[in-house]
Amino acid sequence: MTSLVEGQPIPDFTAQSDQGELSSQALRGTPFVLYFYPRDNTPGCTTQAQGFRDLKTEFDALGVQVIGVSRDSLASHERFRDKQSLNFPLISDPDEALCSLFDVMKLKNMYGKQVRGIERSTFLIDQNGVLRQAWRKVRVPGHVDAVLEAARQL
């Protein structure tokens, strides 16, 4: 587990996405949004992904790449991407390596039982790999707009 601090560089990572391997080193020079979500094809996660999809041209105009992350398989991501016409990469993190680096695995209550899962979180990283803003315990309504507004301030 890493202690992420705004204004400090994020830890180096390499991960597999539905569009091939992504790494923090390869992303240097490009600001990006890394958003962690619990599961493909669930109501909140679908709404959030659609929000990033619908505003992607605005993120692109700012030169900011959007990347989603969950523990789902690449095959699940491909089905989710195709069903929702997603236009950004989705990282598969089944071993929770990236989730651990960003400290998004939390105990959550689900139907009265404690379960370990991804706490919906978003990170805005600048072109130098420095964390500029972190959102934790994200509520979906209005969130993508808030991330876009923060990206405009880079």
**Residue 3 reports pLDDT greater than 90:** no
Q: How would residue 94 be classed by pLDDT, with cut points 50, 70 and 90? A: very high
Average pLDDT over residues 101-110: 89
Rg (CA), the chain: 14
- The continuous run of DSSP H or E covering 147 comes out as helix 143-152
**Residue 1 reports pLDDT greater than 80:** no
Strand pairing category for 121-125 and 65-70: unpaired
| pLDDT of amino acid 114 | 87
Bridge partners (DSSP) of residue 123 are 34, 134
For the whole prediction, is pTM greater than 0.85? Answer: yes
| pLDDT of amino acid 113 | 84
Looking at per-residue confidence, does 89 or 110 come out higher?
Answer: 89
**Residue 2 reports pLDDT greater than 60:** no
State the average pLDDT for the chain: 95
Sign of the dihedral through C-alpha 71, 68, 49, 118: positive
Average pLDDT over residues 69-83: 97
Please list the active-site residues.
45
Tokens matching residue 23 = 């790494």
| pLDDT of amino acid 111 | 81
**Rounded (5°) CA angle 79-117-97:** 80
